[in-house]
Amino acid sequence: MARIAPFRALRFDPARFADLAPLLAPPYDVIGEVQRKELEARHPRNIVHLDLPRGEGDARYDNARTQLDTWLAEGTLRQDALPALYRYEQSFSFPGAAGPQDYTRKGFISLIELSPFSARVVLPHEHTLSGPKVDRFKLIRATRAHFSQVFSLYRDPAGTIEAALDGACGAAPEVDATTPDGCRHRLWVVTDEAVIAAVAREMAPRSVMIADGHHRYETMVAIRDELRPANVPLGHSLVDWGVMFFARAEDPGLLVLPTHRMVHGLPAEALDTLAERSRPWFEVVSGNEEDAAAIQDRLLREGEKAVTFALRRAGTAGTTWLKLRADADLARLGPPTLARLDVSVLHGLVLEPLLGIGSEAMARQSNLTYSHDLRETLGRVASSQVQAAFLMNATKVSQVLDACEAGFVLPQKSTYFQPKLATGLVMARIDPGQEPVLPKV
């Protein structure tokens, strides 16, 4: 049972900032040092100053708390007067096989009662590493605030929840900002108690799958366990609740990018003999495709019929195509919901058994790196920065949901949802002594 609740968000004061774009940032875990400096220079109140604070060691977290207190005192940030759900839309363009395609991804932000993954209410789809969780834990513990949301998906073929939210939103959003990447962010504040109750009722019987933000969710649970009052029943302290963005799995605006695998540091012989050694599972053919458009077009066409990869090697012309054989033995990959996933096939039949890149090497990225950009990947192969690249199709949302609902976890880097949620639009304070405002369901 997914229990959701409205909340009084902490937001940049629109009376002080007519355009929020200079204040927003991508999620902390995709910001490199160059972009971090750009965001810091873009505006002295950019959210990166709180979400990725500067300082030596753990002093950075105290610095974030001091900065947050300053912004609250000066009125940069203010808390909304009424509990609300926050309707969030992102409109963007992305290159497709036939040219740029326009998308609008819709969803809403609310509180969700935290529960362990074992409860099967919130479902993970990949394993996580410990480092980022420690960093987020220290930041949230110091600031008592969530600066960003976990991105989740829920099934709603009839679109009932979207219809309820659409009917509650006026024509003009409260926030309308376009960030330098061209993504337009629009936010409506929904305070109608009847609409909130209707959405909560519809969400109650559903499970949700984490699309992005496993570290953030696990950190919210850890914070709850440390900060919750001892004599308060579960669900009655704000710290029992996390902040989540919910998108409908059937939303046509959902865009999932492939994550191409690039290998390096391998013996040349392992790659020289790969095609021959892979024949028990794959039909192996050579192709003359070399540019990104031609490779993407063939990947999409072949991928409709069978799991297909394109292999490009440094210093070699053309492309080698590996197409999964209809009679391939997939027993080692597990049940069908896992065995037919592109990432399961690549990891379980090629990377680990044929190239010796096991789960530990994948976690360390000692022989494996990733990219969502096909042209960038081809460029790194052409310049011999990597030995080879396995070019892939994107994992379908329905496939990920099927696997997660069956209780399985996918390999790391199985999905990449484009674009990322903006950090800084909607934030939440954590006061363990305060109760959530529960909707009248």
Q: Which CATH number goes with the domain that contains 316?
A: 3.30.1760
How many domains does the chain fold into? 2
Residue 411 lies in a domain: no
Residues 351 and 240 both lie in one domain: no
Whether 26 has a pLDDT exceeding 60, the answer reads yes
Residue 290 tokens read as: 């070399």
Residues 306 and 425 both lie in one domain: no
Residue 438 lies in a domain: no
- Estimate the share of the chain in helix, then strand, then coil, as percent rounded to the nearest 5: 35, 25, 40
Residues 327 and 423 both lie in one domain: no
Whether 363 has a pLDDT exceeding 80, the answer reads no
Residue 406 lies in a domain: no
The b-or-e profile of 170-193 (16+ CB within 10 A means b, else e) is: eeebbbebebeeebebbbbbbeee
Helices (H), 205-256: 214-227
Task: Look up residue 31 and give its amino acid.
Answer: I
Q: What is the mean pLDDT of residues 189-215?
A: 95
- Which residues, including other chains, have CB under 8 Å from residue 322's CB and lie 6 or more apart? 275, 278, 282, 283, 284, 308, 309, 310, 311, 350
Q: What is the Cα–Cα distance from 73 to 402, expressed in whole angstroms? A: 47
Q: What is the Cα–Cα distance from 421 to 88, expressed in whole angstroms? A: 9
Residue 377 lies in a domain: yes
pLDDT at 373: 92
- Run of H or E including 97: none
Q: What is the mean pLDDT of residues 144-154?
A: 96
Residue 439 lies in a domain: no
Residue 140 lies in a domain: yes
Whether 178 has a pLDDT exceeding 70, the answer reads yes
Q: What is the Cα–Cα distance from 224 to 74, expressed in whole angstroms? A: 29
Q: What is the Cα–Cα distance from 327 to 347, expressed in whole angstroms? A: 19
Q: Whats the size of the chain, residue-wise?
A: 441
Residues 127 and 212 both lie in one domain: yes
Average pLDDT of the chain to the nearest whole number: 93
| Selection from 64, 62, 51 nearest residue 25 by Cα | 51
- pLDDT band for 1, please (50, 70, 90 cuts): confident
| Selection from 270, 250, 209, 272 nearest residue 407 by Cα | 209
- Which residues, including other chains, have CB under 8 Å from residue 271's CB and lie 6 or more apart? 263, 313, 355, 387, 388
Residues 136 and 201 both lie in one domain: yes
Residue 399 lies in a domain: no
Residue 107 lies in a domain: yes
- pLDDT band for 407, please (50, 70, 90 cuts): confident
Whether 382 has a pLDDT exceeding 60, the answer reads yes
Residues 107 and 176 both lie in one domain: yes
Residues 149 and 265 both lie in one domain: no
Contact between residue 88 and residue 187 where contact means Cβ atoms under 8 Å apart? yes
Q: What is the mean pLDDT of residues 40-58?
A: 96
pLDDT at 95: 83
Contact between residue 51 and residue 427 where contact means Cβ atoms under 8 Å apart? no
Residues 278 and 185 both lie in one domain: no
Whether 11 has a pLDDT exceeding 70, the answer reads yes
Residues 194 and 263 both lie in one domain: no
Q: What is the mean pLDDT of residues 42-61?
A: 96
- Domain carrying residue 308: 258-393
Q: What is the Cα–Cα distance from 396 to 404, expressed in whole angstroms? A: 13
The b-or-e profile of 346-385 (16+ CB within 10 A means b, else e) is: bbbbbbbeebebeeebbeeeebbbebeebeebbebbeeee
Residues 250 and 269 both lie in one domain: no
Whether 98 has a pLDDT exceeding 70, the answer reads no
Q: What is the mean pLDDT of residues 273-290?
A: 94
pLDDT at 268: 92
Residues 158 and 180 both lie in one domain: yes
Contact between residue 363 and residue 282 where contact means Cβ atoms under 8 Å apart? no
Q: What is the mean pLDDT of residues 248-275?
A: 94
- Quick one: residue 417, left, alpha or beta (phi over 0 = left, psi -120 to 50 = alpha)? beta
Rounded to 5°, angle at Cα 382 from 301 and 310: 25
pLDDT at 129: 58
Contact between residue 27 and residue 151 where contact means Cβ atoms under 8 Å apart? no
Residues 152 and 26 both lie in one domain: yes
Whether 441 has a pLDDT exceeding 90, the answer reads no
- pLDDT one-digit tens code per residue, 112-122: 999 999 999 99
Q: What is the mean pLDDT of residues 22-37?
A: 95
